[in-house]
Structure 1
């Protein structure tokens, strides 16, 4: 615990120093380079993180910004770190976006098609989540299209952003022949879905698959067998939640006639 806390404090001190170096009152974007983390660490006599990318990743997706940075944001806004090119980043001022499961959402039971051996050996929450989404065809169920996994852990470079990683990429088609590309971000444990992930996914799809309609999805564990699915979209320069559904993977015998009657009365939004 002490080791983890020490690393978090070290990262916080470094990122705060880089922020102060560039901060100007009224600015909404502050550019910096990854190499600045190393120079700040040396100047302050801080033990240099072995992986500079991990320090940046932590503040992008895992932990909140240090108070020294948070306190400079106007009411109703927050600072995030976003990619701006190869080894280049920005502190960016944005409105908060909470992509977390609603507590009052109906839960739809789905017959669990996950092979038992996958459940036994899946490594980590993210891998287990991606496997359950794939084997239970939750992308098809959620979006109402026929979708197939094209590639998982796709690492690529996007113009103006730099290197990104998409947890899993699907392509699909609907009854009218419209084709889709579906970037999926899977979140388990303490990782949180950030707006910059969806912004990067949309930019990647526009660049690599310009003829396909992009429908970004976030998948999150609620419990071991309960999964929240979000469809996201960009509107007026902001990321919005289009729809949200909760699915519980159960034995077929656990789905009652009352459950089926409830589901048959639901209208798709």
Structure 2
């Protein structure tokens, strides 16, 4: 797609970043850095006013709006482009094995007796808040990970240290984790579990998991990181993901789907099937 064609359609954020990518990308590149100043300049070139919040241009393409087709089509088979922090007022489009994290179809739906207090369900203010409350009150992290998990902090805002992709100098990036847990296993080992939660139209992105690995490594150096993501599915079912990182690549290590139900909705057949699955896991 030509620069003119890509600039004529899509949201402003898509048009801006699509224009920058078209000007800087060369076949064979796996990273395309760009700056806040380039975002402002691209908007002017497109005949648009300066974005009121330049950061929102990048945020929307991370979590709300797909990258423009001209960028997606430039990814080799099996890879996706994702926007990462690249330093002070610097961002970088980088090729990754997976960008948007979505629940798989066909996984077993595990029924869990719903222990969410009614008053909490009544007054949860957002999808994300409601999701985090259900995870917490139903101890879904304990069930999912096999650890005993304790909530440590909600909405942790901090900075991570990174190298500026343009200058190579040490830099930092502000990040936020929706919820932070610590966990203990049967041997007494301690873990840190950053949790990202998404409901509504926002999507889970690999960049959030990459950031959580950096938070765990830099802020909790004595603990083993086990980043988790939670997402509402259809009918308020909950998908939980655990991630692994190897050689700089993040992959989904485990995924389970849970349905919170009244106790009388758990049948003897359900319990028998869960018991059989548990026995298989222990052999």
What TM-score comes out, normalization by structure 1 length?
A: 0.91
Map of 1:3 onto structure 2:
none
Q: 1:266 to 1:98 in 2, by over 3 A?
A: farther
Three-state SS of the structure 1 residue aligned to 2:136 is helix
Q: How many residues align?
A: 264
Question: Of the candidates 206, 211, 216, which is equivalent to residue 200 of structure 1?
Answer: 211
Mind listing any 5+ residue stretches in structure 2 that lack a counterpart? 1-7, 163-171
Map of 2:231 onto structure 1:
220
Map of 2:255 onto structure 1:
244
d(CA) in 2 for partners of 1:131, 1:224: 16
Map of 2:15 onto structure 1:
13
d(CA) in 2 for partners of 1:145, 1:96: 27
Residue 215 of structure 1 deviates from its aligned partner by 0.5
After TM superposition, list the pairs within 5 Å mapping 1:1-269 onto structure 2: 9-97=11-99, 99-160=101-162, 162-267=173-278, 268=281
Three-state SS of the structure 2 residue aligned to 1:134 is helix
Three-state SS of the structure 2 residue aligned to 1:56 is helix
When the two chains are superposed, the root-mean-square deviation of aligned CA atoms in Å is 2.0
Residue 96 of structure 1 deviates from its aligned partner by 3.1
Q: 1:138 to 1:194 in 2, by over 3 A?
A: same
d(CA) in 2 for partners of 1:86, 1:163: 10
Three-state SS of the structure 1 residue aligned to 2:204 is coil
Residue 192 of structure 1 deviates from its aligned partner by 1.9
Three-state SS of the structure 2 residue aligned to 1:46 is coil
d(CA) in 2 for partners of 1:143, 1:95: 24
Runs of 4+ in 1 over 6 A off after TM superposition: none
Three-state SS of the structure 1 residue aligned to 2:188 is coil
Three-state SS of the structure 2 residue aligned to 1:114 is coil
Q: Is the 8 A contact 1:228 1:246 kept in 2?
A: yes
Three-state SS of the structure 1 residue aligned to 2:257 is strand
Residue 154 of structure 1 deviates from its aligned partner by 1.1
d(CA) in 2 for partners of 1:256, 1:239: 38
